A and B are shown apart, each in its own frame.
Chain A
Amino acid sequence: MSVELLFWDGCPSHPRALAELRAAMADLGLDPSTIAVREIHTQAEATLEQFVGSPTIRIDGVDVQPPVQEPFGLTCRVYHRRDGLISPTPDPADVRDALRTTAQTATTERR
């Protein structure tokens, strides 16, 4: 399973997102040291990577909260938490669910 965190340094949210991602992986018995952390520096990179904002977390290439018609660019990303509140980081429960689902699918496919 590949876990990526993409960030833009102009937005201060990635340390919290990374800490919550690491905690979620540890909770599920996954190795947080395998997270690939990549910085997006330019608009061209953002377009190439289909980066809609910082932070973006992808598990096996799938966004933990898939964006809907968001332009690619260097910006802070707006997330909606399960309680309806707006946040600069994804709901840890969404991250955990995405990790669990992907891990279970991988286990099933190996059988």
Chain B
Amino acid sequence: MTAIGDHVPTFALPDTEGITHEPGDAPATVVVFTCNHCPYALAWHDRIVAVARDYADHGVRVLAINSNDAERYPRDSPQAMSARVERGDFDSVPYLRDESQEVARAYDAKTTPDVFVLDANGLLRYRGAPDADHDYPAQNAAFVRAALDAVLAGRDPDQPQTPPVGCSIKWKT
């Protein structure tokens, strides 16, 4: 399991158009495990997209990954992912498919959402929930924003870890 301060595993995953994305070449990267069917992921979704928009000028990259078993949860199929992207739900955030679930396992992702903030060197600087309450948009992904502000300023985040909250990752059986 990757601990705060450790190098996170690298990966290369395709988005809904088949273009491969990987972390790196950014002062900070947000990797968020998410999906289509989970109310927690959906409730927090716009806040994550807003982070991507608000931090784009700082060079921050946000990568959304869906690792769920689409056979048991058809709403997480590649087709359903593409439909959300085409609808504009993800704005500029690439929505990546982790078909083998290897990336979720390498990150030890637990839930959707589960957020990981990496610094420019690929070190894990924050892991957990986007903010304190999925039901209150005014929370504004405060945990992620605080972590990014710290990383961009060359500081350690005051709160490097919070418990991830959401639906369990749907592992293949």
Contact = CB atoms under 8 A, between A and B. Distances in A.
B137 interface: yes
Q: Chain A, interface size: which category?
A: 10 to 19
A87 B167 contact: no
A13 B168 contact: no
B37 interface: yes
B109 to A, nearest CB: 15
A86 B165 CA distance: 15
Interface of A: 10-13, 75-79, 81, 85-89
B95 interface: no
Contacts of B135: 81, 85, 87, 89
Nearest to A53: B39
B39 A77 contact: yes
B80 to A, nearest CB: 14
Contact of B43 (A11, A75, A86): A86
B39 A86 contact: yes
Contacts of B168: 10
B134 interface: yes
B39 A85 contact: no
A87 B39 contact: yes
A76 B39 CA distance: 7
Contacts of B137: 85
Interface in B77-115: none
Given A11-B167, A12-B165, A75-B73, A88 B37 contact: no
